[in-house]
Structures are given as C-alpha cells and as structure tokens.
C-alpha cells in the first residue's frame, strides 16, 4: 500500500470529511440494519474457502462500523476503545484498507442471501474511498489508474505506436479470414459501433475477425476500457478515465459503444457513468457478448459448434452477471459455438466469485489471499470435468488461469469472443 506523510490529525479530519460526504441513507442503512445473524456466512467465497470468523461478511462490516463510530460518532470519538476501535488513525486506516481491499471483492453475493438486503459491498466501497483519500490505497491500483490518465494526456505521443500495433494485428485478422481486405479501422467517423478493448491482442483480434465477418460498420477505440480508479473508490479519477472514451465516441458520432469482455469496464460505463455525470450517455452502450448473441440469432454470422469440441464450462463474472444482468446472453452464445457445455453449480445470480474481483488480481501483496479465496471456484471447475473455462471478464480470466496452475486443474481459459471467432464458418 502507499505510504503517506499526512499528519495524524489531518488523517482523522480527512477521513471524517470523506465519511460525511459518502455515507448517505443507503450506506447508513447498511451499517445499522445488520443484526449479525450470520445467514450471509455461507454465501461468501472467502469463508467457504477458509471458514474463519474474520472471513464472514458481517464480521468485515463490523470492523467498518467501528471505524465509522470512531470517526463520526461523538461518543466513539471520545472513547474509541469502547467500540473496539484502534487508538490511532494510522493503525485504524491501515487495517481498514486491508479489510476493504483484500478481504472483500464487492461481489454482492452476500446481499442476495441477507434477509434485510444489507449491501456489504457498498460499505466496503465507501471505506475504499476513505482509505485511498488518506493515502492507504494499493500502490499498483493507483499506478494503473494514473497510467490510464497519462495516456489520454499524451495521446499524440501514443497514437503512432498504437497505429503501428494495430497494423500488425490487422495482418492476423487477414490471415484468419483469408482476405487482404479485412481491416481494423481506427478513428472512423460515422461508424455504427465504437469497440473499446483492453490492453491485449486477445481483446482485439477475435473481435475484429467477427466484425469483419459480419461486415459491421465499426471502429476501434484508441483507449482501453479498464478503469482501476473505480476499484480505488476514487470518483474524480474514475470520471476522468471514463471521459476519455465518452469524448471519443461523441467526436466520432458513433451510434453505440461496445465494451469488450471486461466486468468492471462494462458496469462502470453502464451504471456508474450516468450517476457521475448526472445525465445518460448520448449513444447506446452494450457489451460485446450482447452483440455476438444478436449476430448469431439474426444469422449475421454462422458458426459450427463442432469446431470447439472439448468440454467447456462458464464462469459468471460478478459484474456482468449478478450486477450487470447478462446471464442468458453468454450461455446462448456458448451453446451455439461449443459442442459440450457444462454448467457449474451454482451459477448465474448465485455463482461464486472467482476471488480476483475489484482489483484484487492486480495487488501482488495479497496474492496468497486471492488464491486461497479462489479455492471454492477451483473446486466448482474441477467438478464439471471441463477442459476449458470460458469467462467474460479479463480479471476472471487471469484468476482462473492461476487457479488452474495452483490447484492442478489442468484447464485452459479463454473468452466467448475467442470461441466464437474459432467457430466461424
């Protein structure tokens, strides 16, 4: 985590200001309604992978309640030990950061099991904001968010390098389709779709193959959809990162923005952006999975499921599935492009988090915690007997790959787009 030279007094003041700003009715209700019944216990992948009291949602939320009382409650501020609070801001905030960033992936599964609908993830989101503002945010997340902003500030310097890279990837698309006419268009004004990838050829080449096969009017974004400031709870930087792509879409006058297979990138643009900017987007927004589902349904592309003959299972991304509502679309596509699809149990709304969500995959200091939290997902994968794990989120992809190695699953991981591109006829 980052270190800070902010004085003890200033940390307390800043934490108090952030809590006063962010703890609205919804969060306050989540803080106060919990009756510690423990029904949420079995819903948490941390607890199911390692059943300790400190891995339960209600325990984590209770640590946050103590911090809230220490900083905001008059009695708690005067007598912090009465509430089990730490005696100094440094100790309190350091522990808070680990609780909020390392022991909760904001997957929202516990909320579905809670009889009162307590949103533990919202409590943790606020505490991430407090930890980041007071200098306790994970260093890697801060660096990645900063790099995204720097790319926009120096877009002209990056443009030529980016275009050269795209030209190289374009050759792969042409080889795959057997056509020298296949293109990866960039900065194409008036295109119907602006496709926003991630950093990596696997989020550009398969999709470009499909768009060319569909004869789609599209253009590739200069930026990627990742917004790690969201994980930090840093609203100002989150808005700046999102604004890059919004401005690009508006400048190119596209009809729709299509987000690649990225859980947080999609939910940030779909649900958070309208709240951040106080207005809806001026263009449509969908995930690439929705486009693939439409292409197959309408006969825009044709696929052969026997091309993907090995048994495949699907991991529901918490952001796209439970929080984003994309539950059947990925399954329709998978069933169309593979010959042997096997569901994990449970799945859809009740699917367990892979253990890497909300930026945990990018925090090396908590790798052991992340891999342990993924034990339950590894067991689910093993029980299917599948050889290929497909997921619609890049962070999930990285985690499932590491879980395969760590727990000797013998599986490979791929995306829905890659399976679809391979199945094209």
Q: Which CATH number covers residue 247?
A: 3.40.50
Select from 70, 105, 137 the last residue of a domain: 137
117 and 206 in one domain? Answer: no
100 and 46 in one domain? Answer: yes
329 and 291 in one domain? Answer: no
Give the separation between CA 371 and CA 377, rounded to whole angstroms.
10
The CATH number of whichever domain residue 99 belongs to comes to: 1.10.1060
Lowest mean pLDDT among 93-97, 116-120, 357-361, 410-414: 93-97
122 and 64 in one domain? Answer: yes
Residue 87 has pLDDT above 60, yes or no: no
The model's pLDDT over 310-359, given as tens digits with 9 standing for 90+, comes to 999 999 999 999 999 999 999 999 999 999 999 999 999 999 999 999 99
Would residue 261 count as lying in a domain? yes
The model's pLDDT over 350-404, given as tens digits with 9 standing for 90+, comes to 999 999 999 999 999 999 999 999 999 999 999 999 999 999 999 999 999 999 9
Q: Is the pTM here over 0.85, yes or no?
A: yes
Would residue 366 count as lying in a domain? yes
146 and 133 in one domain? Answer: no
Select from 254, 277, 296 the last residue of a domain: 296
Would residue 2 count as lying in a domain? no
119 and 207 in one domain? Answer: no
Triad 284, 288, 292: Cα angle to 5°: 110
Structure tokens belonging to residue 411: 């599986």
Tally the domains of the chain: 3
pLDDT at 64: 80
The dihedrals phi and psi of 314, each to the nearest 5 degrees, come to -120, 130
Give the separation between CA 418 and CA 421, rounded to whole angstroms.
5
Residue 412 has pLDDT above 70, yes or no: yes
Name the burial class of residue 140, with classes exposed (0-12), middle (13-18) and buried (19+) by CB atoms within 10 angstroms of its CB. middle
132 and 70 in one domain? Answer: yes
193 and 126 in one domain? Answer: no
Would residue 1 count as lying in a domain? no
331 and 273 in one domain? Answer: no
> In sequence order, what are the residues at sequence separation of 6 or more whose Cβ sits closer than 8 angstroms to the Cβ of residue 1?
94, 97, 136, 137, 138, 139, 365
> 78 is in which domain, residue-wise?
8-137
């Amino acid at each position: 985590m980052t270190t800070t030279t902010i004085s003890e007094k200033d940390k307390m003041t800043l934490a108090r200001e952030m809590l006063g700003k962010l703890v609205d009715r919804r969060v306050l209700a989540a803080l106060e309604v919990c009756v510690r019944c423990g029904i949420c216990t079995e819903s948490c992948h941390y607890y199911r992978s390692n059943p300790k009291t400190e891995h339960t949602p209600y325990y984590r939320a209770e640590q946050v309640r103590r911090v809230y009382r220490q900083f905001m409650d008059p009695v708690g501020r005067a007598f912090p030990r009465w509430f089990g609070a730490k005696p100094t801001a440094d100790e309190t905030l350091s522990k808070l950061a680990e609780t909020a960033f390392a022991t909760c992936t904001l997957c929202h599964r516990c909320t579905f099991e809670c009889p009162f609908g307590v949103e533990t993830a919202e409590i943790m989101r606020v505490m991430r904001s407090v930890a980041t503002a007071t200098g306790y945010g994970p260093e890697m997340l801060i660096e990645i968010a900063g790099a995204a902003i720097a790319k926009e500030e120096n877009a002209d310097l990056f443009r030529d390098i980016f275009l050269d890279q795209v030209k190289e990837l374009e050759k792969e698309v042409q080889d795959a389709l057997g056509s020298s006419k296949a293109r990866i268009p960039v900065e194409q004004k008036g295109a119907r779709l602006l496709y926003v990838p991630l950093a990596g050829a696997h989020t550009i080449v398969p999709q470009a193959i499909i768009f060319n096969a569909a004869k789609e009017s599209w253009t590739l974004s200069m930026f990627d959809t990742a917004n790690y400031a969201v994980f930090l709870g840093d609203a100002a930087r989150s808005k700046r990162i999102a604004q890059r792509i919004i401005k690009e879409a508006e400048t190119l006058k596209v009809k729709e923005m299509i987000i690649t297979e990225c859980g947080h990138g999609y939910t940030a643009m779909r649900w958070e952006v309208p709240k951040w900017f106080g207005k809806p987007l001026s263009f449509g927004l969908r995930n690439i999975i929705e486009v693939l589902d439409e292409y197959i349904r309408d006969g825009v592309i044709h696929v052969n499921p026997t091309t993907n003959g090995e048994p495949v299972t699907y991991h529901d991304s918490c952001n796209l599935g439970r929080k984003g509502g994309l539950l059947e679309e990925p399954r329709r596509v998978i069933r169309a492009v593979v010959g042997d699809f096997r569901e994990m149990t449970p799945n859809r709304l009740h699917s367990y988090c892979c253990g890497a969500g909300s930026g945990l995959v990018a925090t090396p200091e908590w790798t052991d915690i992340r891999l342990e939290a993924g034990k339950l997902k590894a067991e689910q994968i093993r029980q299917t007997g599948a050889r290929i794990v497909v997921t619609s989120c890049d962070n999930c992809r990285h985690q499932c790959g590491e879980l395969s190695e760590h727990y000797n699953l013998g599986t490979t991981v791929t995306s829905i787009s890659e399976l679809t591109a391979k199945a094209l006829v």
